[in-house]
Copies of this chain bind each other. A is one copy, B any other.
Amino acid sequence: MTSPTVNFHESATTVSAEAGETILEVAQRAGVPIVSYCGGQGTCKQCKVIIREGSVQPKNPASWREETTEDGRGIRVLACQSLVTEDITVEVPLGALGVDPTVRDVDVLTGELVDLSEFSPSTPLARQFALRLSPPTHDDTLTDLDRIVQSLLAEDEQLAPLTTQLGLLQQLPAALRDNSFEVAVAITDTGVANEIRSVRPIGAADSSLGLAIDVGTSTVVAQLVDLTTGQSLGASIRRNGQIAYGEDVISRIVWTQQRDDGLARMRESIRDTLDDILTHLYAQQGIDPQQVIAASVAANTTMTSFLLGIDATTVRRTPHTPAASVLPVLTAQEVGLSTHSQAGVFCHPAVSGFVGGDITAGILATRMHRSEGLCLLVDVGTNGEIVIGNRDWLMCASCSAGPAFEGVGIEAAMAATAGAITSMHYDPKADVIKYETVNDQPPRGLCGTGLVEMIASLAETEVIDRTGTINSDFPSERVRQIGYEAEFVLLWPDESGTGEVICIRQHDLENLLRSKAAVLAGITVLLGNLGFEATDVETMYLAGTFGSSLDVEKAVAIGLLPDVPRERVRVVGNSALAGAYLTLMSSKARDEANQIVSSLTYLDLSGDAGFMDEFIASDFIPHTDLSRFPSINK
């Protein structure tokens, strides 16, 4: 008996199914990215696919649901609940395609977060020296290694102690003699020593590049930096391919636990994503991967664990303790980065399973650990991470916001690329949506800021009530019922750039509200635990890709952010990436990054009695208690 096959129509991939496999499992094995936030539990309903040919068996007949498609030529089912028992052809609708594999360019970081003046002198994680050594003679019998060490110390005696590894020693005699003793020597600062990591033709010293990398749960960014000047050359972004294995870190950890090679495959996935980004970046900048001799990575604890092949199971279980906080400086070979194999890799330390290197990097970049006044750092990503404190103390918390504002799982959402709605307003009298799009292109969906403005506008116009429920009596054709669910049509087919209707469904709104409620509740509880209110905050840093493009006024209006005076709000962009840039360039920054961990206390919201109450109270627009939002209330 031959195995049944699954033909994934759009990706022209046909794969044999193993006994008992679901469509989702086959897809994951084949690298076809299907959204699965719940990790295949059948609860998130995101993995809806269309069976075009053949039929499937229910994994769990009691909860089985299937529906015929509008065109009548297919059956819509959940991929995770459909056992493959015969040859089938499957269509994965765009909405269920979890990972957009497109690598896009983004602007490199600028501004005070990446100002190196406070972290001088420049002491990059790795440096190269062009050494013109004299060959050994009868009167100069220094060993190969000592010849290099003495020459390096003559350049800068601060480089001591200098160490090396066996691999380099094995290559050393040939490396020196093949290059007539004129060599480029790369050293990496391991924290306890400078390790000589490569010896190669002297021309290699002409260019020493590094990478600042932000591995987010949903998106991954890499920025290419000239280590000699500190100048950023370019940056690229891509969706994290691991989204195919779960929306958030918990479902991904569960996924790795369910199969022997789970961790290895999760690791492979992030390596593939990084490979894509680096390949793009290198091609665009016209550089050779061998020029890259250092990388600094800011990522949350789970992403760091997956990247390094460290079991993250403990992150999931209370008390969410990761394997390590401060990590050793590694080699690119160990990590699996497409750079020079011996490039030094610094990973920002985590404080707990849910406050990772991305946050400690963000603290470093905002310098809140040096501030006199009370600071609040909010990074709304897939997790909402919050830090308050000053130069004397720091406290942090994390809340599972989910990636709704990052657009994941919202059918009408898209990245902030051409055609994305960044700003919108509904005029109920004219029944017209006014909007702006990226590059003024025909509208194709809403990016994060568009989603916030959409909620603000629909709430203001009472299309939705304060619980986010669509008013089914609202006098507009835009409000309609599809199956069990109400939806609000933003754009009719003839208005949209896609030629299809673009609408917000009731469950999209619920997702978005839960997301914002988690963030607001986290901030409130963290401040409250220390006896503070929002108005005590001297500076609120709004970090993250989403935060950086946000209209603060609207974010406060819907109750995503607390009602702090607007002049105290600083939108700082990708502070994790900025932190990675700083640690890439300065040993002082690396020391501070590692020290921040000691002064940072983690508050586990899941163990906080008040959090759930506050979360429920925050699942309103903007909050059940309007007195907390005086500026909105006015």
Residues of B within 8 A of A140 (CB): 319
Central interface residue in A145, A177, A334, A602, by most chain B CB within 10 Å? A145
Closest to A142 in B: B321
Verify B161–A327 contact, CB threshold 8 A: no
Selecting from A80-88, A162-170, A375-383, the interface stretch reads A162-170
Selecting from A111-119, A306-314, A362-370, A385-393, the interface stretch reads A306-314
Q: How far is the CA of A126 from the CA of B619 in the complex (A)?
A: 57
Chain A residues packing against B (C-beta within 8 Å)? 136-138, 140-146, 161, 163-166, 169-170, 172-174, 177, 190-193, 308-311, 313-314, 318-328, 330, 334, 350, 352, 602, 604, 607
Q: How far is the CB of A329 from chain B (nearest CB, A)?
A: 9
Verify A325–B143 contact, CB threshold 8 A: yes
Closest to A334 in B: B166
Stoichiometry, copies per complex: 2
Q: How far is the CB of A181 from chain B (nearest CB, A)?
A: 11
Verify A352–B141 contact, CB threshold 8 A: yes
Assuming A161-B192, A164-B328, A328-B165, is B172 touching A321 (CB within 8 A)?
Answer: no
Q: How far is the CA of A325 from the CA of B192 in the complex (A)?
A: 21
Verify A166–B325 contact, CB threshold 8 A: no
Q: How far is the CA of A172 from the CA of B192 in the complex (A)?
A: 22
Verify A173–B328 contact, CB threshold 8 A: no
Closest to A313 in B: B173
Q: How far is the CA of A358 from the CA of B135 in the complex (A)?
A: 26
Assuming A141-B602, A325-B143, is B310 touching A169 (CB within 8 A)?
Answer: yes
Q: How far is the CB of A225 from chain B (nearest CB, A)?
A: 24
A172 contact from B170, B320, B324, Cβ within 8 A: B324
Verify A322–B143 contact, CB threshold 8 A: yes
User: Which 9 A-B residue pairs are closest in the complex by CB-CB distance?
Assistant: A145-B324, A136-B321, A192-B193, A143-B325, A141-B319, A144-B323, A173-B311, A192-B192, A172-B323
Assuming A192-B161, A602-B141, is B310 touching A170 (CB within 8 A)?
Answer: yes
Verify A319–B166 contact, CB threshold 8 A: no
Instruction: Beyond the given A144-B314, A173-B313, A177-B314, please list 14 additional residue pairs across the A-B interface where CB-CB is below 8 A.
Output: A138-B607, A140-B319, A143-B321, A143-B350, A161-B192, A163-B190, A166-B309, A166-B334, A169-B310, A169-B328, A170-B310, A172-B323, A173-B311, A192-B192
Q: How far is the CA of A143 from the CA of B322 in the complex (A)?
A: 5
A144 contact from B137, B321, B327, Cβ within 8 A: B321
Verify B163–A319 contact, CB threshold 8 A: no
A192 contact from B137, B163, B173, B308, Cβ within 8 A: B163
Q: How far is the CA of A192 from the CA of B328 in the complex (A)?
A: 14
* 15 residue pairs A–B, Cβ–Cβ below 8 Å: A138-B607, A140-B319, A142-B321, A143-B321, A161-B191, A163-B192, A164-B324, A169-B308, A169-B324, A169-B327, A170-B309, A172-B323, A173-B310, A173-B314, A193-B193
Residues of B within 8 A of A323 (CB): 143-145, 169, 172-173
Q: How far is the CB of A342 from chain B (nearest CB, A)?
A: 14
Assuming A173-B313, A193-B192, A311-B173, is B138 touching A318 (CB within 8 A)?
Answer: yes
Q: How far is the CA of A386 from the CA of B323 in the complex (A)?
A: 52
Verify B321–A141 contact, CB threshold 8 A: yes
Q: How far is the CA of A169 from the CA of B326 in the complex (A)?
A: 11
Q: How far is the CA of A165 from the CA of B324 in the complex (A)?
A: 11
Residues of B within 8 A of A602 (CB): 141
Q: How far is the CA of A319 from the CA of B134 in the complex (A)?
A: 13
Q: How far is the CA of A405 from the CA of B506 in the complex (A)?
A: 94
Q: How far is the CA of A321 from the CA of B173 in the complex (A)?
A: 10
Q: How far is the CB of A324 from chain B (nearest CB, A)?
A: 4
Residues of B within 8 A of A177 (CB): 314
Residues of B within 8 A of A136 (CB): 314, 319, 321
Q: How far is the CB of A246 from chain B (nearest CB, A)?
A: 20
Central interface residue in A165, A190, A328, by most chain B CB within 10 Å? A328
Verify B319–A146 contact, CB threshold 8 A: no
Q: How far is the CA of A311 from the CA of B143 in the complex (A)?
A: 13
Residues of B within 8 A of A141 (CB): 319-321, 352, 602, 604
Q: How far is the CA of A170 from the CA of B169 in the complex (A)?
A: 26
Residues of B within 8 A of A324 (CB): 143-146, 164, 169, 172
Q: How far is the CA of A190 from the CA of B319 in the complex (A)?
A: 33
Q: How far is the CA of A261 from the CA of B602 in the complex (A)?
A: 55
